[in-house]
Amino acid sequence: MSIQIKDVNKNFGDFVALENVSLDIPTGQLTALLGPSGGGKSTLLRIIAGLESADSGTVSIEGVEATHLPPQKRNVGFVFQHYAAFKHMTVAKNVAYGLEIRKRSKAETAKRVAELLELVHLSQFSHRLPSQLSGGQRQRMALARALAVEPTVLLLDEPFGALDAKVRKELRDWLRRLHDEVHVTTVFVTHDQEEALEVADEIVVINEGRIEQIGSPDELYDEPANDFVMSFLGPVTRLEDTLIRPHDIDVLTAEPGDARTVAGEVVRTLRVGFETRLTVRPVATVGGAHDGEVAAPGEEGDVTVVLTRSHARELDLEPGSRVWLSPNRGATTMPSAAPRTPQPAPAL
């Protein structure tokens, strides 16, 4: 194991930022700490880095007890969202900095800097100042600088958080490829579930100071431990008392013999790019309403269904169409007795 965190607790005054957090991170792995804002991800990362100390519990890095070691003795590289580069130094000088203060020879430093700039695709910018780089290029420079001193562990706190969506996406692919080349144990903090699912070998979901689940992206997606994890990983809707993903619902336009389907009426259709989103209002078949009457007031129980555009066209659906809904084969579902689960993920 590269990083072992055991029973870590951290309070800020009365506020519990981390509660009994234990976590093992294997060597060479790319791990995402994922969760909503304020959940404690950065605090945990800062405790691993030694920038913050735990109230209780221990941290060890590559088998070395590190709980009380200062950051500079932990051999960790750190990159923040807003990277503080030396503004008056060129890109090459910024990357060389850590090597120079460690008194590496000029030749060795020059060789290493050239290799690193190549790795982060900035060779042609080595003589520029940081202010002459784009945001994405600056973050790549920050990564080169953190990697220069060959850290055992690389810690990234929302490294692409300040960049626009397109650049973020490019850098995420790039980070994955970079990691496949260098294999340094990396822990990165993100609140973006897509980023975590796409890049990480393993995801640690953190919420309100506690670990909700640890697993590979597929494990988390296919077998979420609870409704929080399920709804944090992407949009969910409720089909009667079942929590389900909107694209995991089958839509029939003729009444099936199967009593387990939910009858409803399409109240809205919305086309967004390649998909069509339906809002379906279940019809009341028992209770006060007449059989088949649309339940009132309704919105509470509305079900969101996502179909591909061509499938929706085939079904020829429009507001007022009668449909029958059921979970499709292999759908991930869980009981949901509670009122609506909050959806921190982007809304449909």
Ligand X SMILES: Nc1ncnc2c1ncn2[C@@H]1O[C@H](COP(=O)(O)OP(=O)(O)OP(=O)(O)O)[C@@H](O)[C@H]1O
Residues that bind ligand X (CB under 6 A): 12, 15, 17, 35, 37-43, 189, 191
Q: Least CB distance from residue 302 to ligand X, whole Å?
A: 31
Q: How far apart are CA 95 and CA 119, in angstroms?
A: 12
Nearest residue (CB) to ligand X, 160 versus 324: 160
Nearer to ligand X, 91 or 203 (CB): 203
The minimum distance between CB 234 and ligand X, in angstroms, equals: 19
CB-nearer residue toward ligand X: 39 or 264: 39
Q: How far is the CB of 81 from ligand X (least distance, A)?
A: 9
Q: Which is nearer to ligand X, 35 or 77 (CB)?
A: 35
CA distance linking residue 116 with residue 234, whole number of Å: 36
In contact, 60 and 95? CB cutoff 8 Å: no
Q: Minimum distance between the CB of residue 209 and ligand X, rounded to whole angstroms?
A: 7
Residue number, 156 or 243, with CB nearest to ligand X: 156
> What residue ranges in the chain does DSSP mark as E strands?
3-12, 15-25, 30-34, 56-61, 64-65, 76-79, 153-157, 185-190, 202-207, 210-215, 237-239, 242-244, 249-252, 262-272, 275-284, 293-294, 303-308, 322-327, 333-335
Least distance CB 84 / ligand X (angstroms) = 17
Of residues 25 and 262, the one with the C-beta less far from ligand X: 25
Nearer to ligand X, 52 or 219 (CB): 52
**Tally of CB atoms within 10 A around 75:** 16
Q: Nearest approach, Cβ of 78 to ligand X (angstroms)?
A: 14
Looking only at the bridges linking them, the beta strands covering 322-327 and 202-207 are unpaired
H or E segment and range at residue 141? helix 135-148
CB 275 within 8 A of CB 307: yes
Q: Tokens 């900095």 correspond to what residue? A: 97
| Least gap, CB of 219 to ligand X (angstroms) | 22
**Residue 94 C-alpha from the chain's centroid:** 30
